Amino acid sequence: MRIDRASERGNAASWLLALLVIALLIGGWFWLRGNSGSPSNGEPPADDGPPSDEQDGPENGPADPDDEPAEPPALVDEDGRVFSYLPVGDLLPNSGPGLADDTVYRSDILFPTEDAVYLNSQVYRYGGMNGALNGMNGAQCDARNYDYPWQDTFCEKRDRNQPLCPGGGHEGLDIRPHTCAKNTHWAVAVEDARVIDVRRHWVTLQTEDGTLYNYLHLKMDALEVAEGDLVAKGDRIGMISDNFFKSDGTSVPTTTHLHFEMYENYVASPGDDPLFTKVNPYVTLVAAYDRKLRAE
Amino acid sequence: MGTGNERGDVMKFQIAGALCTLMIAGGSYAYAQTANRQNADALESELKNRALTRAAVDPAPVGEVAKETVESGVNWIEMRTALALTARREVAAQQTATRAVSRPPGMRAAPAETFKSVVVREVNLTRLPLLAPEGPRVAETLKVYSLGDSYSATAEVEDGVSMRMSGSRRKIVVGERPAALARMRAMRAQEKPLASLETPYVVTRSDSSTDLSFSKFGAGYVLSLMCDDPADARCADDAFIVGLASNIMLLNPEAGGQ
């Protein structure tokens, strides 16, 4: 009897083991199948050729002539992608209050890059330290980071409380270059200006009327400009990279992007005392990109 | 033999248990990954649906264009009065103190020629009071770049802290739109008095700099401090930047004629 019971237990354990192995194999197969659809593979997106209509967003869907009148054609970039953008101040969930300032501070500047680019968060998207807050786990080169729509990142939360961004602290815009490849895509002067500071990981330009432009994270050892230079609108400044240094030269990790800041000396009415502070350049850059895509 | 069988059975149960644990852990991980991916996909889809596009032909204007840029009349008399006021405070401090006292804050003339890294021509070009904070390291490393109606002065302040002070006599008129007014009111509400220059100031902070902004003599100024670590007390607290702004050098005391 004892031998029979042991034999039965042995058989039961063998069957259980076999079933678990089969379940594991089937489960693993389904899991792998589910993951294969993810574009988050850490590889840079293809640099050439327009993506499919499906990737272009809602505006590119074929209109049904029976339903609504056909929408006018939308502005596209050099790859044929429809340029789309979220309204100013419309930040990712859990990423800060934003600042809805729809002012075009400079109506005639050039866009600060040579190629098509993507404005979005470096911290709250794929590859960012807080990407998981929105389920955006992945690498910085995830193709979804290199797509429209643009999204504002001014006053994105960075634990630096101050009057312009209550509860926020990112007083600039983060611009991903055309592809994830660093030291490849150029940042250019938005206006005729003077290079007034080249230090650590930034280059600062100033215009005759005082506007300051900060370009951060360029490849600092291969800049096209030097301190004191006069630059003309469109002149190359440097390649977009991930340089981020302390004053002793220690490197701090960051993603490949151009952090772009703008200071204005501004008033509501001509007789007022001015405020000389950083301003949100988002709408100014949307307008500049619009002109760039139209080759104006 | 029976003991060997039992040991074998126990091992099989142990393996089965381990596999079960693995499956549960793997399943949980896979579920979390799938849920994350679904959340992210849903969010991406929502963003695309909310996004705006631009018509290829006859597009509507983007945003509200700032109205104009106007030039401020610089109050040179006020500048000279401020210099004289600081001088009087210093004399008073020397006369009333019986022991060594710290210098009173204020604005002092510091001719461009006294700085080894400053190009005098840059200073002479500048059509507004050219201000920069005092300090031994600043004096050693100060550089000035002028564009006539605007300028910037840059320097190392201390180890791990650099500064840029910029001024402009031209200002952009953004107009009386509610969003702009609300933002300016919020900034003004944070202003505090900068006693040494008798003007209000506001401090703002971000990852890249701590900025102190004020207007004086008809021009706008911003003093920016860049710390290696934004959490450094010299950038995280107001005291250091306010201290710098309270002892200001005027590099072009002769500007503006008599």
* Domain spans, chain A: 38-296
**Model-level pTM greater than 0.80?**
yes
What is A38-296's CATH number, 3.40.47.10, 3.20.20.70, 2.70.70.10, 3.30.930.10?
A: 2.70.70.10
Nearest to B51 among A84, A202, A206 (CB): A84
**Chain pair A-B, CB pairs under 8 angstroms:** 321
A145-199, pLDDT tens digit by residue? 999 999 999 999 876 556 667 655 788 999 999 999 999 999 999 999 999 999 9
Annotated domain spans of chain B = 1-51, 68-250
Tokens of A259: 């952090």
CA distance A14 to chain B (A): 7
DSSP A267: E
- Where b means 16+ CB within 10 Å and e means fewer, A86-100 reads bbbbbbbeebbebbb
CB pair distance less than 8 Å for A204 and B229: no
Taking the alpha carbons at both ends of chain A, their separation in whole angstroms is: 94
Is residue B25 within 8 A of residue B33, CB to CB? The reply is no
Contacts of A264 in chain B (CB under 8 A): 172
Best of B31, B57, B62 to substitute, by most chain A Cβ atoms within 10 angstroms, is: B62
User: Cβ of B149 and A276 within 8 Å?
Assistant: no
Averaged over successive runs of 10 residues, the pLDDT of chain B (258 residues) comes to 67 77 71 75 95 96 92 94 90 71 84 95 97 96 98 97 98 87 87 93 90 97 94 92 96 85
Q: Are strands B68-71 and A118-119 parallel, antiparallel or unpaired?
A: unpaired
- Angstrom distances, CA of residue B119 to CA of A94, B148, B249: 48, 14, 16
Cα–Cα dist A134/A147, whole Å: 17
Average pLDDT over residues A39-62: 37
Tens of pLDDT along A245-281?
Answer: 998 899 999 999 999 999 999 999 999 999 999 999 9
CA distance A133 to B4: 53
CB-CB under 8 Å, B208 with A202: yes
With CA atoms as reference, the chain B residue closest to A7 would be: B5
Top residue of B208, B229, B235 to mutate, by most chain A CBs within 10 Å, is: B208
pLDDT tens per residue, range A61-101: 444 555 666 778 999 999 999 999 999 999 999 898 888 99
